[in-house]
Amino acid sequence: MAKITMREAISQALMEEMDRDPAVFILGEEVGVWGGTYAVTKGFYDKYGAARVKDTPIAENAIIGAAIGAAMVGQRPIAELMTINFAFSAMDYIVNQAAKLRYMFGGQFTLPMVIRAVGGGGRQLGATHSQTPDAIFAHFPGLKVVSPGTPEDAKGLLKSAIRSNDPILFIEHATMYQVRGEVPEGEYTIPIGKSKVQRPGKDLTIVTYCKGLELSMKAADELAKEDIEAEIVDLRTLRPLDMEPVLESFKKTNRAIVVEEGWKSYGVGSEVVSRIYEEAFDYVDAPIIRVAQKEVPLPYNRTLEQAALPQVPDIVAAAKEVVK
């Protein structure tokens, strides 16, 4: 296996799928000549040309609308949104059109489109550019929501998303493009809608995804120093939500915490905890704790921003609380 960054893994997935299928093309703000805000599509414009790497105006409605139209006539667009916060400008197109058209037309056509969007805080981009609204989009049936936490999963899941005939929101965390991890060499894909145990353990279950996985793995290392073995289940996909590995782990450990970067109220953690209580109540030995962002618009000041975001000590403290 090669050890590469998240950025390289995503870039490889895009390039391999564009080489494989001429119907795949990219559109978005600064994806072409500039090479992408986070340099994911650097060099793509020179290789594929303006017909397949399309720079667009600063108009998210136009980007998503064009992608929907292209998908309906057989193309496989990958629409890049500079940040998921800008998805709010295209909310109607995403949740009222892309998510519903195949269903409303009785399956007469498919919408094979991917929306790549950068989410999360930690880069001092201010309250309106640092949100983690993943749960909002996962609320809507018809739209699949994927958010990987490792380079291996990012590449495998993105390739599967591009080949899918459903609209998929693919969320990448703004602070994780330099994260390195082992990625299989050669052709591989990872099924969408399958959670994964990223670290085995016996004392408690940590359920998380995306940036939360990175933090949880570090927290598990700290807990191991005190002989607390945490099992980490990475959701990877928020819709469809695969709870089977979560429930299997919980029935073994009888204790759990859920780690997410979004706000606690009405969040991903709320859904996971509800499902555990509904489907595995007899196995509960301690209240399940949610670790999430403070309930404030994310500050610009770095010290305040980090104070508002979930951190490793928060996870360690929550884990100790449920196992004591």
* Catalytic (active site) residue 16: no
CB atoms inside a 10 Å sphere around CB 192: 23
Point out the catalytic residue in the list 17, 29, 80, 129.
Answer: 129
Point out the catalytic residue in the list 60, 172, 231, 260.
Answer: 60
* Catalytic (active site) residue 129: yes
Q: What's the token pair of residue 63?
A: 């980007």
Residues involved in catalysis: 60, 129
